[in-house]
Amino acid sequence: MSLAPDATVVLLAVPLAASALLAVLPSYRLSAALNVAAAFAAFLAAASLFVAAPRPNAYIVIDDLNVVFIVLNTFVGFTASVFSATYIAHEIDTGRLGATHLRFYHAMYQFLLFAMNLALIANNIGLMWVAIELATLTTVLMVGIYRTQAAIEAAWKYFILGSVGIALALFGTILIYMAAQPVVGEGVPAMLWTTLIEHAPQFDETLLDLAFVFLLLGYGTKVGLAPLHAWLPDAHAEGPTPISAVLSGLLLNVALYAVLRFKLLLDGNARALAPGPLMVTLGLVSTVFAAFMLYRRRDVKRMFAYSSIEHMGIIVFAFGVGGPLANFAGLLHMAMHSLTKSAIFYAVGQIAQVKGTQQIAEIRGLTVSHPLLGWSLVFGVFAIVGLPPMGVFMSEFLIVSSAFERAPWLALTLAAGVLLALGALVLRMQGMAFGAPVGPTAPAKASALPMLSHFALVLIAGVWLPPPLVAWFQHVAQLLR
């Protein structure tokens, strides 16, 4: 009997049930253990989808494209839950969070995983929109969990800008339904991916073009593309560090997945607008803009938030260029960025706890006072800027190479943005990692295992990729056109 239908139930039911239970559990140890166990169960269920996938129905679809996102989503969700178990313990010990906050945090964490999983496996474009909206509202609440003035302001900013983005995405979704209705009829069939992609060549190209503009702007807000990015640095700076890792490593990918799904609809209609140039433009603007903004950051979490904007720009640029090589590189870069950036936030979260600050100027000499954190920060920066032999280097090299074949000037602009970002991050890293130590020297208490496991995977991927993974990515790259 196939395990895949049960796997989709686990992906949704386990985090949802865990969320309800964690809302009432008073014990920190028990709730932390349950949070980790539920996240691990979801990861195992996602991994089983590589072996057997259920047939699509009116609610759920599992295909080669979303399995990549689901497995990555659940893996980082699991490691972030392990990191949370010890990170949140320190926040409780220092009085930043209380018992009520603890129950709220764990319940919302599992509900966020449920919403993201639902968005990735939903066959109905309306259901996907609802799931992404639920994920947005959940993260808004978690960003403001510390109840400081800055945290509440960041949460409100995220809520307002996120609401604008999701409203634009809703309008685009309605336009897609209007384009499909004359062809496939009214009701649910006109909202199913499996039906839409089959009949895409028959849709009204004008409605498809207009819909994609709204969808790219709407979901692009969630991706963090400039100039729609303003919520992202504040949310990272003021929210709990595990949520920063989830935002950069997961939620941005979920919104990107939605964009790619709708891109497939336009690609399937020969008369429709080519989505590539729009994606290339937004991706390039985001990359170059974020690279310049990195030089002016004073908060370490805010700095790495702009790094996420830069890398999401690179990924969107790759998918905009299109073709087997660029799409393969975009998928690889998405995976490498998720693993690397979440690991960096694991390190930064511990650094902020032991130093009592997120200000770059007040963090010095980490390799002397906290060798593991200091050298992990050095490794993380080298990895995220794309120095060899890291996995990000391989993906960025492939993206620039594929772009040179089609548009050399665009490739040069992208390479310039990548080099600018490299200079900014290495410059900031030197001061924090080396020199005479400044500030407290108490040891870090959060677990380093999630961070080290991510860094190990990124290093291995830069040297060797398993042939089955390469074949899978190549197949998905062909699907994306």
Say whether pLDDT at 99 is over 80: no
The verdict on residue 58 lying in a domain is no
The verdict on residue 309 lying in a domain is yes
The verdict on residue 203 lying in a domain is no
Work out the average pLDDT over 296-316: 94
pLDDT band at 115 (very low <50, low <70, confident <90, very high): very high
Work out the average pLDDT over 389-401: 94
Structure tokens at 185: 């009829």
Sequence-distant (≥ 6) Cβ neighbours of residue 340 within 8 angstroms: 380, 383, 384, 390, 391, 392, 454, 455, 458
Widest CA span of the chain, in angstroms? 70
Query: What is residue 3's predicted lDDT score, i.e. its pLDDT?
Result: 40
Preceding omega of 227 cis (within 30 degrees of 0): yes
Q: What is the mean pLDDT of the chain?
A: 92
Give the percent of the chain with pLDDT over 90.
72
Sequence-distant (≥ 6) Cβ neighbours of residue 248 within 8 angstroms: 236, 304, 305, 308, 337, 338, 341, 342, 345
pLDDT in tens, 119-177: 999 999 999 999 999 999 999 999 989 888 999 999 999 999 999 999 999 999 999 99
Please give the tally of structural domains in the chain: 1
The verdict on residue 316 lying in a domain is yes
Q: Give dist(CA 139, CA 127) in Å, integer.
A: 19
pLDDT in tens, 419-435: 999 999 999 999 999 98
Cut 0.75: pTM above it: yes
Say whether pLDDT at 36 is over 60: yes
The verdict on residue 64 lying in a domain is no
The verdict on residue 100 lying in a domain is no
Sequence-distant (≥ 6) Cβ neighbours of residue 211 within 8 angstroms: 172, 173, 175, 176, 179, 262
Contact 232, 221 (CB under 8 A): no
Query: What is residue 446's predicted lDDT score, i.e. its pLDDT?
Result: 82
pLDDT in tens, 46-98: 999 988 778 888 889 998 889 999 999 999 999 999 999 888 888 888 778 87
The verdict on residue 458 lying in a domain is yes
Residue 476: give the domain boundaries: 275-481
The verdict on residue 264 lying in a domain is no
SS3 124: strand
